[in-house]
Amino acid sequence: MHRRRFLQYSTLAGLGAYTGTLPAIAAAPSPIDHAKDWAWLVGNWNVRHRRLRERLVGNQDWQDFPGKSAFWQTLGGLGNLDDNIVELPGEPYRGISLRAYDPATDTWAIWWLDGRNPTHIDPPVKGRFDGDTGVFTGHDTLRDKPIVMRFTWRDIHSAQPWWEQAFSGDEGRSWEVNWRNWFTRTAPQPSPLPVLADAPHDWDFLQGNWRARHWRLRDPFAASDDRETFDGTLALWPVLGGHGAVAHLVMHPRGGDEFGVSLHTHDAKTQQWLQWRLEGSQPGKIDAAATGALEDHAIRYVGEESVGGRRVRVRTTWGPQSANAARRELAFSADGGTTWKTWWTTDLERSS
């Protein structure tokens, strides 16, 4: 434990002081650029882990082992993710963190997905940075009992930032630290971690960088075909050793830039894919995943989400068109899946 769709933001300019013949007026505080909050973690890292074997049982048996991490900015800097190799002795595994900033609460949310359980995202911890330290707390369960989780980042601008996880079984009156990580940078720009030999190849066709051309209906429920078209980009890279993939969309509609992230994970037990997407209107929340599978060389998901302010079933199809072209299509059904209407298509052309 432990470690959908669009986030839109504007950068507000600070007001300067007036310094003419009138008395000087104090300048209004410049807004904090939260797109830079995690810039210090961009890149690839070697990680030194130290963790307790058991939590909240008075155990003092610590394990030390190595790991690796790769960190990308997303959502124009107001989101990010890291992909991780955790070399737990006898049971190495992969995991991924997703983060998004919510201006309504001035907090970052951090979610963790353990690659050993690819159908579940842990409840988030939420918090913010103060100087060189960031503290994030949330609630979960351990052995079917409620706990409070706390993530703390320290020395974030040093050569070796470090992270600490602590649990409380008494609503925060006392804490037990159960995991620490120390990070040493190996590359300033992120690159995917190695793919595992047993990874599926379903997303190979979309790996890399793409130019995007979108069209979407202005009113999905209207009878007219009034649509808007706009450009953008898409990047997709493997995570979780190839048992997952992340697609990052940057879009440039006339109303202002939009950003989207979708996380895809593969459940080997059912041979299904799951798709989670970050919601711009609710950046502190990730809805239930849509489920799907590879069908006729395309990956097709069906789930439920809000379209035009209405809760409907949504079908998302990702598929190749040629060696250097691909397409994403979104359709919705307001009658439980009897009929479907395409309301958004993205045509992709490989750029690298």
Average pLDDT score over residue span 307-315: 93
Stronger pLDDT, 336 or 32, i.e. the higher one: 336
Domains of the chain: 36-187 (2.40.128.20), 204-350 (2.40.128.20)
| pLDDT tens, residue by residue, 86-138 | 999 999 999 999 999 999 999 999 999 999 999 999 999 999 999 999 999 99
Q: Which of 277-286, 301-310, 325-334 has the lowest mean pLDDT?
A: 277-286
Torsion of CA 296, 301, 302, 307, to 10 degrees: -120
271: Cα separation from own chain's centroid: 23
Q: Where residue 309 falls among pLDDT bands split at 50, 70, 90?
A: confident
| pLDDT tens, residue by residue, 49-66 | 999 999 999 999 999 999
169: Cα separation from own chain's centroid: 28
| pLDDT tens, residue by residue, 6-49 | 333 333 223 233 233 333 333 444 467 899 999 999 999 999 99
- CA pair distance 178, 2, nearest whole angstrom: 11
- CA pair distance 221, 63, nearest whole angstrom: 56
249-260: burial string, b at 16+ Cβ within 10 Å, e else? bbbeeeeeebbb
- CA pair distance 325, 234, nearest whole angstrom: 12
pLDDT exceeds 80 at position 167: yes
Q: Where residue 280 falls among pLDDT bands split at 50, 70, 90?
A: low
Q: Which of 297, 243, 299 is closest to 269 using CA atoms?
A: 243
- Cα–Cα distances (Å) from 53 to 179, 197, 346, in that order, read 9, 28, 47
DSSP string computed for 169-231: SSTTSS-EEEEEEEEEEEESS--PPPPPTT---TTGGG-EEEEEEEEEESSTTSSS--EEEEE
pLDDT exceeds 70 at position 210: yes
Look at residue 281 in the predicted model and tell me its pLDDT. 60
Stronger pLDDT, 343 or 28, i.e. the higher one: 343
Average pLDDT score over residue span 335-348: 97
Rg (CA), the chain: 22
Locate tokens 């706390």: which residue?
Answer: 150
Torsion of CA 217, 218, 223, 226, to 10 degrees: -80
Look at residue 283 in the predicted model and tell me its pLDDT. 83
pLDDT exceeds 90 at position 174: yes
Look at residue 339 in the predicted model and tell me its pLDDT. 97
pLDDT exceeds 60 at position 156: yes
Average pLDDT score over residue span 310-333: 97
Q: Which of 9-23, 100-114, 156-170, 212-226 has the lowest mean pLDDT?
A: 9-23
pTM of the model: 0.89
Q: Which of 239, 312, 306, 224 is closest to 74 using CA atoms?
A: 239
Look at residue 219 in the predicted model and tell me its pLDDT. 95
Q: Where residue 278 falls among pLDDT bands split at 50, 70, 90?
A: confident
DSSP string computed for 263-311: EEEEETTTTEEEEEEB-SS-TT-BPPPEEEEEETTEEEEEEEEEETTEE
Look at residue 31 in the predicted model and tell me its pLDDT. 63
Average pLDDT score over residue span 66-86: 96
Helices and strands per DSSP (H, E), number in the chain: 0, 21
Look at residue 124 in the predicted model and tell me its pLDDT. 96
